[in-house]
Structure 1
Amino acid sequence: MNRIENAMAALKEKGEKAFITYMTAGLPDMEKTKEIIKVQEEAGTDVIELGVPFSDPAADGPVIQDASYRSIQLGTNIHKIFKAVEEVRNEGCEIPIVFMLYYNTILHYGVDAFVKKCTQAGVDGMIIPDLPFEEQGEIKEALRNTPDAPVLVQLVSPVSKKRVPMILEDARGFVYCVSSMGVTGQAADFHKNVISYLEEVKAVSKIPVMMGFGIRTASDVEPMKDIIDGAIVGSHFIRLMEESGYDAEAVKEYCGSFKSELNQK
């Protein structure tokens, strides 16, 4: 098991829900990115999705698109991100880190080389929103052939329906349930059949079920809390960091409060 799977097993044993955040690497700079990763570990965040900036982030709404653009303008690239992850690992940070990235970044780097570098740097998983299940063969083979490789986290949506059992057959880590149609950051405007959709995913999934897109507070997922195993916050978390000037205490307060409220009985 890698860090993600260990974290999920520990949460299950404690009867707790997972709190997962998304942050764009390189904002406001790489040193602050590393600080915010470490602060979240202290606050009790369970997994961090570290966004790798891309010029055409098709699955993302305006907040993450803008963050991605600004990070690229500052000179962020995959080499600097790998270096930052290696550095936090060398400093003793053990929070699971998942790259959220688009497939062109992997192709340009070289699929086998990318997987090996992730393993070496201490990246635990990857989410690739523009890579359909039917086109995952090459990356899956590279993962299979690399000892201690990251896990490929699968995305499903309300229109996945009959495809869900197929997508999740050999899935690892957790399943990312997109809660609405469209892009990220839609302010809790969940799909009208979100409850039944989540129940259907939960019924066939052998791994924890996480809900993302449009979540701001723990109360947003209260109606689904008995179904899901955790919640993912992205756009709102980026806004909060920007509005606070990337203040470490504000990050710690938000993450600690969300995690606590999510696990109130």
Structure 2
Amino acid sequence: MNRIDQKLQTLQEKGEKAFITYMTAGLPDMERCKELIRTQEKAGTDVIELGIPFSDPVADGPVIQQASYESILLGTNITKVFQAVEEVRGEGVEIPIVFMLYYNTILHYGVQAFVDRCLQVGVDGLLIPDLPYEEQGEINACLDGQDTTYLLQLVSPISADRIEMITKEAKGFVYCVSSMGVTGQAADFHKEVRSYLEKVKAASPIPIMMGFGIRNAEDVANLKDTIDGAIVGSYFINLMKQYGYDMSVAEQYIRKFKKELNEN
């Protein structure tokens, strides 16, 4: 059973919402990146979205663009990230890990080789924001026949006519983009965000997660009845950078968010 399914099933049985973070692979260096993964598992993060640095991250705002650039300057690449994941898995880390990356990285590595390596090291999911539903055939063919690495689906407020198509065979969870534009827009959600999320929830056979612009649990408090969890990216990256990747700050933030997210 996929680790994402296991985690979300456990949360559902407990009546809890999922807390997912985005972190850029390789920052502040690869060793402390691995430490941050271990810290997050200990603190209670439910799923880690591990961003693979790329030169043209079209779905990302200034914070993640800058983090990606800084990581590239440190020499981070997909081969090194695979190795880091393999190492933390070897240490017993079981938190679900999702790669958020752009399709050029996969094409350059080789689609089948990339999928094989994901299966080998323990990558649980893939989020590819520049790969439309209609163009997922090649990677789906490589992923077919196994349930340890999922291709996760994204929907946005302009996906109204496509929600049923995108979600009907989705696996793991559906990533609901909460606003138009790029990441990191400080809770500036789409004006009809509730209606949009309700449509996705009604169509999706699996949990739905809300991302883009979320900073704290209060930002999603009035939408908790509709979503199954929240994703924090740019704010978490800024927090880590501000405090010099102090692991105690990460742990405190995660525990506080998780507690408040699941308060009635």
The normalised TM-score by structure 1 is 0.99
Tell me the secondary structure at the aligned position of residue 161 of structure 1. coil
Amino acid at match of 1:87: E
| In structure 2, C-alpha distance between the alignment counterparts of 1:254 and 1:87, rounded to whole Å | 25
Q: Which residue in the other structure is 2:242 paired with?
A: 243
Q: Alpha-carbon deviation of 1:72?
A: 0.1
Amino acid at match of 1:106: I
| Contact 1:202 1:209 (C-alpha < 8 Å) held by counterparts | yes
| In structure 2, C-alpha distance between the alignment counterparts of 1:149 and 1:45, rounded to whole Å | 20
Once the two structures are superposed, the pairs formed by residues 110-259 of structure 1 within 5 Å of their partners are 110-145=110-145, 147-259=146-258
> In percent, how many aligned pairs have the same letter?
70
Q: Which residue in the other structure is 1:50 paired with?
A: 50
Please say if 1:104 is aligned against 2:101.
no
Tell me how large the CA RMSD over aligned residues is: 0.6
| In structure 1, C-alpha distance between the alignment counterparts of 2:168 and 2:31, rounded to whole Å | 39
Amino acid at match of 1:247: D
Unaligned runs of 5+ in 2: none
How many residues of Structure 1 are paired with residues of Structure 2 in the alignment? 264
| In structure 2, C-alpha distance between the alignment counterparts of 1:224 and 1:136, rounded to whole Å | 30
Once the two structures are superposed, the pairs formed by residues 36-75 of structure 1 within 5 Å of their partners are 36-75=36-75
| In structure 2, C-alpha distance between the alignment counterparts of 1:148 and 1:225, rounded to whole Å | 29
| In structure 1, C-alpha distance between the alignment counterparts of 2:147 and 2:10, rounded to whole Å | 19
Please say if 1:5 is aligned against 2:5.
yes
Amino acid at match of 1:57: P
| Contact 2:3 2:148 (C-alpha < 8 Å) held by counterparts | no
Amino acid at match of 1:190: F
Q: Alpha-carbon deviation of 1:223?
A: 1.1
Tell me the secondary structure at the aligned position of residue 159 of structure 1. coil
Q: Alpha-carbon deviation of 1:253?
A: 0.4
Q: Which string of whole-angstrom CA distances, capped at 9 and with x for unpartnered residues, describes residues 96-133 of structure 1?
A: 00000000000001101100100101100000000000
Q: Alpha-carbon deviation of 1:206?
A: 0.5
Q: Alpha-carbon deviation of 1:148?
A: 4.2
Q: Which residue in the other structure is 2:259 paired with?
A: 260
Q: Alpha-carbon deviation of 1:169?
A: 1.2
| In structure 2, C-alpha distance between the alignment counterparts of 1:197 and 1:65, rounded to whole Å | 27
Runs of 4+ in 1 over 2 A off after TM superposition: none
| In structure 2, C-alpha distance between the alignment counterparts of 1:41 and 1:149, rounded to whole Å | 19
Q: Which string of whole-angstrom CA distances, capped at 9 and with x for unpartnered residues, describes residues 10-36 of structure 1?
A: 010000000000000000100000000
| In structure 2, C-alpha distance between the alignment counterparts of 1:143 and 1:207, rounded to whole Å | 19
Tell me the secondary structure at the aligned position of residue 9 of structure 2. helix
Tell me the secondary structure at the aligned position of residue 162 of structure 2. helix
Amino acid at match of 2:257: F
| In structure 1, C-alpha distance between the alignment counterparts of 2:106 and 2:254, rounded to whole Å | 30
Tell me the secondary structure at the aligned position of residue 232 of structure 1. strand
| Contact 1:20 1:48 (C-alpha < 8 Å) held by counterparts | yes
| In structure 1, C-alpha distance between the alignment counterparts of 2:147 and 2:156, rounded to whole Å | 28
| In structure 2, C-alpha distance between the alignment counterparts of 1:148 and 1:33, rounded to whole Å | 27
Q: Which residue in the other structure is 1:92 paired with?
A: 92
| Contact 1:118 1:149 (C-alpha < 8 Å) held by counterparts | no
Tell me the secondary structure at the aligned position of residue 92 of structure 1. coil
| Contact 1:143 1:149 (C-alpha < 8 Å) held by counterparts | no
| In structure 1, C-alpha distance between the alignment counterparts of 2:90 and 2:143, rounded to whole Å | 23
The normalised TM-score by structure 2 is 0.99
